[in-house]
Amino acid sequence: MADAVLAVRNLCKSFGALKATENVSLDLKPGEIHALIGPNGAGKSTLIHQIAGTLAPDSGDIDFLGRPVGHLGVVERARMGLGRSFQVSSLAPEFSALRNVMLAVQSRQGSSFRFFRPVMGDASLIEPAMASLERVGLATRARVPAAELSHGERRQLEIAIALALGSQAFLLDEPMAGMGPEGSRSLTGFLDRLREEAPILLVEHDMDAVFALADRVSVLVYGRIIASGTVDQVRTDPEVRRAYLGDPA
Ligand SMILES: Nc1ncnc2c1ncn2[C@@H]1O[C@H](COP(=O)(O)OP(=O)(O)OP(=O)(O)O)[C@@H](O)[C@H]1O
C-alpha cells in the first residue's frame, strides 16, 4: 500500500500461551479514520502499544511514513510524528492551556539554551502554540488552567500538544471513555475535523462514535482481525454480528 501513512504487517505478540496479537495486518491512509473495535480483552490496547513502541512484538513489521520503525523506541517514533494520546495524560494541570502547548513547542525545538529564559515571554513559542490551539478550536481558552477545562477540552488540548510536537498520525485509545452523551457528541465532531490534520487509528467502544466517524473498521477478536471494511460491510458481516455486535435475531 504505497500511500499508507502507517502499515502493520503480520504482527504477533503472545503472553505465555495467550496469543494477544495473531498475525495482524492493517494500514492507515492519509485523511482517514480507521476504527479498531472488538470485545474486552480482544487485544486492541496491546496492538496500539506495539505500534506506539511501548511493547515489543514477537514478530512482524511496522512501517511509518514509508520507513520501518519496529526497531525504534517510543520516543523516536513520537519524534517521527506517531502521536499517541489519551491514555497517558501529558498535561500539567496548574498551567494554562497555552503554557502546556508552549512547553511542547519548546521541547520540539529542543534548544537547551532556552532553559534559563522564561517560557511565557517567548514570542517564538507563543505563536506556534497559539496556532496549535486554533487548529483544535481552543484559542479562546488559551489562558485557562488545564485543570479548569472540561473533559472534552482537555482531550482537545492533548491533541494541540500532539500537533505542536509534529504528529502525522494519531493512535487514540478510547477517547470517549468517561464522557457523557453531550461530551461524546462534541468530541465526535472534533475528531471528524481532526482527520484532515492527520489520520487516526481509533480504538473505541462507543459504537455511535465509530459508526459516525470511521472510513474503515477492523474487528479484532481474540487477537485476530475477523473482518475489515466500511461501516456498512462490517455491520452486516454475520461473523462480526455473532462475535461482537450481537445478532438481534
Ligand atoms: N502485560 C501483559 N501480560 C499478560 N497478559 C496481558 C498483558 N497485557 C494484556 N494482556 C492480556 O492480553 C489480552 C488482550 O488485552 P488488551 O488489553 O490488549 O485487550 P483490549 O482489547 O484492549 O481490551 P479492553 O477493550 O478491555 O481495553 C487480554 O487477555 C489481557 O489480559
CA–CA separation, 16 and 163 (whole Å): 38
Mean pLDDT of 3-22: 96
Say how many Å lie between the CA of residue 44 and the centre of ligand 1: 8
Percent of the chain having pLDDT more than 90?
63
Question: Would you say residue 232 has pLDDT above 80?
Answer: yes
Coil vs helix vs strand at 24: strand
Say how many Å lie between the CA of residue 220 and the centre of ligand 1: 12
Q: Give the number of the atom of ligand 1 that is nearest the alpha carbon of residue 174.
A: 27
Is there a contact between 168 and 198 (Cβ–Cβ < 8 Å)?
A: yes
Name the superfamily (CATH) of residues 1-81+168-249. P-loop containing nucleotide triphosphate hydrolases (3.40.50.300)
Phi, psi of 90 (to 5 degrees): -105, 10
Q: Give the number of the atom of ligand 1 that is nearest the alpha carbon of residue 223.
A: 14
What pLDDT, on the 0 to 100 scale, is given for residue 183?
A: 85
Q: Which residues contact 219 (CB under 8 A, 6 or more apart)?
A: 37, 38, 225, 226, 227, 228, 234, 237, 240, 243, 244
- For the record, the C-alpha cell of 218 comes out as 477492523
CATH 3.40.50.300 in the chain: give the residue spans. 1-81+168-249, 86-167
Ligand 1 touching residue 43 (CB < 6 A): yes
Coil vs helix vs strand at 208: helix
Ligand 1 touching residue 112 (CB < 6 A): no
CA–CA separation, 146 and 118 (whole Å): 19
Half-sphere exposure of 17 toward its Cβ, with a 13 Å CA cutoff?
A: 0
Q: How far is CA 176 from CA 87, 105, 179, in A?
A: 11, 26, 6
What pLDDT, on the 0 to 100 scale, is given for residue 1?
A: 46
Ligand 1 touching residue 20 (CB < 6 A): yes
What pLDDT, on the 0 to 100 scale, is given for residue 124?
A: 85
Say how many Å lie between the CA of residue 203 and the centre of ligand 1: 13
Ligand 1 touching residue 44 (CB < 6 A): yes
Is there a contact between 44 and 98 (Cβ–Cβ < 8 Å)?
A: no
Phi, psi of 112 (to 5 degrees): -70, -20
What pLDDT, on the 0 to 100 scale, is given for residue 165?
A: 85
Say how many Å lie between the CA of residue 178 and the centre of ligand 1: 20
Say how many Å lie between the CA of residue 46 and the centre of ligand 1: 6
Q: With 0-12 CB in 10 A as exposed, 13-18 as middle and 19+ as buried, what is 114?
A: middle
The model's confidence at residue 119, banded by pLDDT at 50, 70 and 90, is: low
Question: Would you say residue 103 has pLDDT above 60?
Answer: yes
Say how many Å lie between the CA of residue 75 and the centre of ligand 1: 23
The model's confidence at residue 121, banded by pLDDT at 50, 70 and 90, is: low
Picking from 54, 57, 65, the residue whose alpha carbon sits closest to that of residue 6 is: 65
pLDDT, averaged across the chain: 89
Say how many Å lie between the CA of residue 191 and the centre of ligand 1: 25
Task: Kindly write down the DSSP assignment for every residue of 145-163, as one continuous string.
Answer: BGGGS-HHHHHHHHHHHHH
Is there a contact between 188 and 212 (Cβ–Cβ < 8 Å)?
A: yes
Name the superfamily (CATH) of residues 86-167. P-loop containing nucleotide triphosphate hydrolases (3.40.50.300)
Q: Which residues contact 133 (CB under 8 A, 6 or more apart)?
A: 97, 98, 101, 139, 141, 142, 157, 160
What residue owns the CA closest to ligand 1's atom 5? 15
From 55-64, 110-119, 222-231, the region with the lowest mean pLDDT: 110-119
What is the ipTM, given to two decimal places? 0.96
What residue owns the CA closest to ligand 1's atom 26? 40
CA–CA separation, 5 and 199 (whole Å): 8
What pLDDT, on the 0 to 100 scale, is given for residue 73?
A: 92
